[in-house]
């Protein structure tokens, strides 16, 4: 079965946010064994696609990897009619999702006063949350963020096999170094467990082992 890719975006007057999210999904869609199956924008970005809801299957968990563009803060990210927060029942990966990437500002801020561990309950079998420790920007120079993320994570190696394939974490860091200034800090939160080496995880057509046994969480952030 092909790895399924999704894009969610709220433009808020900046079309670059749509371009970022769709750029990730559309580039991966050109590779054999990757399919762009979900694309939701503006009013189509609804809370129940992220928050566990009775008698409903969250669309976010019908894909393996997603790029999302919306506003955010350390405790929540925006949907069309509200927000999804750490106080909600979120179980990313309960069906399929392994990688959740977003440019929502400060979502993965990690300080002594506010640990990024607040997002750990959102991990069911999720491998990575990729985001930012600080504010990030959109529009203009940031339009290619999603395309670069997909390119370094999978596309470049798939099209030119002698080119190196970056790990998920390296691809996210590199994509943001290319589009953001040094005052912006990329970040990730990842789960790891027995048999699931997410530190070296690659985005490939094969389903990876989920980090569910003896699971621990790790975070990193750095300047773009």
Q: Evaluate if residue 65 carries a pLDDT over 80.
A: yes
Q: Write the CA distances from 111 to 19, 117, 120, 133, integer angstroms.
A: 31, 10, 15, 9
User: CATH number, domain at 213?
Assistant: 3.40.50
Residue 29, Cβ density class (10 Å: 0-12 exposed, 13-18 middle, ≥19 buried): middle
Greatest alpha-carbon span in the chain? 47
Q: Identify the pLDDT of residue 1.
A: 72
Portion of the chain with pLDDT greater than 70, in percent: 100
pLDDT tier, 139 (very low <50, low <70, confident <90, very high otherwise): confident
Q: Identify the pLDDT of residue 140.
A: 78
Q: Evaluate if residue 156 carries a pLDDT over 80.
A: yes
Q: Where are the beta strands (DSSP E) in the chain?
A: 3-9, 34-41, 65-69, 72-73, 76-79, 82-85, 99-102, 128-132, 185-192, 216-223
Whole-number Å distance between alpha carbons of 169 and 188: 7
Whole-number Å distance between alpha carbons of 90 and 128: 14
Nearest Cα neighbor of 176 from 130, 128, 119, 111 is 130
Q: What is the mean pLDDT of residues 79-87?
A: 96
Entry pTM: 0.97
Nearest Cα neighbor of 136 from 217, 38, 67, 51 is 67
pLDDT tier, 99 (very low <50, low <70, confident <90, very high otherwise): very high
Number of separate domains in the chain: 1
Q: Which domain holds residue 107?
A: 3-223
């Amino acid at each position: 079965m092909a790895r399924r890719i999704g894009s969610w975006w709220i433009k808020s007057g900046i079309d670059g946010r749509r371009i970022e999210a769709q750029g990730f999904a559309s580039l991966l869609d050109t590779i054999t064994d990757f399919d762009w199956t979900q694309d939701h924008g503006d009013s189509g970005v609804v809370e129940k696609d992220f928050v566990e809801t009775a008698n409903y299957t969250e669309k976010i968990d019908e894909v393996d990897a997603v790029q999302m563009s919306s506003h955010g803060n350390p405790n929540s990210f925006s949907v069309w009619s509200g927000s999804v927060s750490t106080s909600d029942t979120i179980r990313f990966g309960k069906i399929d999702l392994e990688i959740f990437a977003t440019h929502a500002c400060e979502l993965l801020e990690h300080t002594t006063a506010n640990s990024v561990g607040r997002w750990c309950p959102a991990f069911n079998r999720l491998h990575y949350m990729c985001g930012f420790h600080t504010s990030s920007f959109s529009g203009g120079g940031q339009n290619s963020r999603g395309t670069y993320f997909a390119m370094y994570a999978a596309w470049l190696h798939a099209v030119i096999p002698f080119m190196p394939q970056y790990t998920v974490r390296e691809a996210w860091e590199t994509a943001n170094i290319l589009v953001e200034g040094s005052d912006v800090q990329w970040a990730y939160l990842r789960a790891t467990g027995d048999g699931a080496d997410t530190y070296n995880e690659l985005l490939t057509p094969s389903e990876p082992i989920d980090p569910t046994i003896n699971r621990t969480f790790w975070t990193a952030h750095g300047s773009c």
